[in-house]
Amino acid sequence: MGRNVRVLLLVSILFGIAGGLYEFILPYYLEGRGLSFKSMGYVFAASTLAMFAVRIGLGNVADRWGSKRLYLLSVFSCAVACLGTPFTASLGLLIALKSMREVGVLARDTAHPILLYAEGRGRFVDFIGKTRGMEFLFQAVGTFIAGVGIASLGDRGTLWAGAGALVAAMGLLALVRSREGRPSGTTPGIRGLLSFDLPRNLKVIMAANFLFSVGLSTSHCFIMPLFFSQKFGVSASAVSTVMVIHRLTFVLPMLLVGYLPIRNYKAVFIATVILEGIAMSAGGVIPDFFWAAAVWLLHDLVGAGVWIPIQSAIIQDECREASRGLDLSKTLAFSALGGAIGPVLAGYLADFSISAPFFVSGALVTVSAGVLFGLRLRQGVREEVKVAAM
C-alpha cells in the first residue's frame, strides 16, 4: 500500500468519524427544534435535489482541475455544514446547510475512487474496500461518540467535534501527490453535462440505483433512529448502539471482498442487493426490539458491504478515460435523484405507521435488483477483481 493510499485511508477514517457524529445527531437536533416528520423529510429531500444540481458539474471539475482539489473542496463544505448547523433552527438555513454537506459527501464520492484508481487499477477493489471499510468502521466510532457525548457536549458540541475532524482531514489531503493524468481543461456545456451519453453498463447501474436510492432513503434518513426509539420506546443510547453496529456490519465484508473467491460478479451483485432488501423489510415488521434490530442489521453484512466494491470496480472500468470524473458523477448523480423521493415518502408513511418506511424501503431495494440483469460485464472487470483478490 503506497503513501497516497495510506493518506487516503487516514482521511477516510476522519471523514467516517465526522459522518457518524453528524448523521446520528441531526435527526435529534431537528426533533428538538420542533420539526415534524414531513418537515424533516423536506430537509433531506431538498438536499438531495441540490446534490444532483451541483454534482454533475463537480464531475467535470474533477476532469478539469484534478480530483485532489475537488476532494479538498468537498471536505471543506462538509466542515462548514457541521460548524454552521448549531447556529440556526430556520428550516431554510437547515436545508441549505444539509445541502452543502450532501454535495460535499458526493463530491468526495467522485474524487476518492478516481484518486485510488490512479494508484493501481489491478488493486482498485482492494483499495476501495479497505478505505471504505475503515470509513464505515470509524463512522461507528463517531456514532458511539455522538450517543455518549450528546449528554455532556450537547448537539452543538458534538457537531463542532465533527467539524474539527474534517479540518484535520483537509490537512492530511495536502500530503497526497495525485497520479492522475493531466486535467482535460475542456467544458462540455450544459447539454453535454445533462446528456445520457454514457456506456451501456453505466446506464443500467444508473437506472437500478435510482430505484434503489428511493428505497434506501425511505429508511436511511431522519426516520432511521426515530423508528427504533418511537416504535420500541428505547433510549437514545440504545439506538446509538444499533447505529454503531450498523456501521460495523459494513466493515468485515468491505475489507474481505477483494479476497473472496467469486466467479460470477454479476450474480453476486444481484443476489446481495436482494438479500439486503429482504433484511430491511423484515426488520421493519418484527415486533421485538432485539430481533428487529438483529435482522435489520444483516442488510449491510450480506448486502452493501459486498456489492459496493464490486459496483465501484464496474463503474471505474466503464468510465471513459478522457471524461472519467464526468461519467462517474453523471452515473451517481442521476442515480441519487431517487434519494429526494425517499425522505418525503418516509414522512408520509411514518404518519400512517412508524414501521411502514422500513417495510417499503426493503421492498423497493429488492425490486431494484431486477434491473441489474441487464448488465453485460467485460472481461476487464472480472480480471480486475480477480487481481485484487490475490
Greater model confidence, 28 or 283:
283
Give pLDDT, residue 387: 41
Question: What is the spatial distance between Cα 368 and Cα 387, in angstroms, rounded to a whole number?
Answer: 29
Complete domains list, the chain, with CATH:
3-177+194-388 (1.20.1250.20)
- Average the pLDDT over each of 9-13, 78-82, 114-118, 163-167 and give the range with the smallest value: 114-118
Give pLDDT, residue 388: 41
Query: Which of 62-76, 178-192, 201-215 ranks highest by mean pLDDT?
Result: 201-215
Please report, rounded to a whole number, the percentage of residues in the chain having pLDDT higher than 90: 25
Give pLDDT, residue 137: 84
The residue-averaged pLDDT of 148-152 equals: 63
Question: What is the spatial distance between Cα 347 and Cα 2, in angstroms, rounded to a whole number?
Answer: 46
pLDDT digits 0-9 by tens, 218-256: 999 888 888 999 999 988 788 888 988 887 888 888 877
C-alpha closest to that of 88 among 155, 148, 188: 155
| All cell numbers assigned to 199 | 456506456
Q: Measured between alpha carbons, how far apart are the two ends of the chain, in Å?
A: 14
Query: What amino acid is encoded at 208 in this protein?
Result: A
Q: Is the pTM of this model over 0.75?
A: no
pLDDT digits 0-9 by tens, 285-294: 999 999 999 9
Measured in residues, the chain has a length of 390
C-beta separation of 117 from 124 below 8 A? yes
Give pLDDT, residue 356: 95
- DSSP conformation class of 89: -
The residue-averaged pLDDT of 137-164 equals: 77
DSSP strands (E only) in the chain: none
Give pLDDT, residue 103: 80
| 390 — pLDDT class (breaks 50, 70, 90) | very low
Question: What is the spatial distance between Cα 134 and Cα 15, in angstroms, rounded to a whole number?
Answer: 10
